[in-house]
Amino acid sequence: NTLTGTFNEEFTFFFDPEKTDQRTINVEVWDHDTFGKNDIIGRVSVPFIINVGSEIELKFDLEGEGKNAYQKAGELTLTILYTPDPEVKKQRRKKAKL
């Protein structure tokens, strides 16, 4: 019950840069209403930045929806860490040797 929520959520996405053309993650932030319907607070498209093995902290303005469209609806801070799948790396090395 605050207007300045801190969520500290962690998500894992599987991404193969050789197979995936999509280079953005679309993030939506919603409120939760006990009674009535949940409302979208804002959204942002986050560019997917590959920086192997290093965390990157990025800040984005959430864009409002509906009557608040094109207005800042809050701020989103993300920490992104890209770690290649060891199995995928092993398969690529095998292909390279052929």
pLDDT per residue over 30-75, tens digit each?
888 888 888 888 899 887 766 667 788 889 999 988 777 888 888 9
Kindly tell me if the per-residue pLDDT of 78 is higher than 80.
Answer: yes
- One-letter amino acid at 79 equals T
Given phi > 0 = left and psi -120 to 50 = alpha, else beta, which region is 31?
Answer: beta
Please name the helix (run of DSSP H) or strand (run of DSSP E) that holds residue 94, with its range, or none.
helix 86-97
Greater confidence, 70 or 20? 70
Q: Which residue has the higher pLDDT, 7 or 97?
A: 7
Q: Report the predicted TM-score, pTM, of the whole model to 2 decimal places.
A: 0.67
Q: How far is it, in rounded angstroms, from Cα 31 to Cα 9?
A: 15
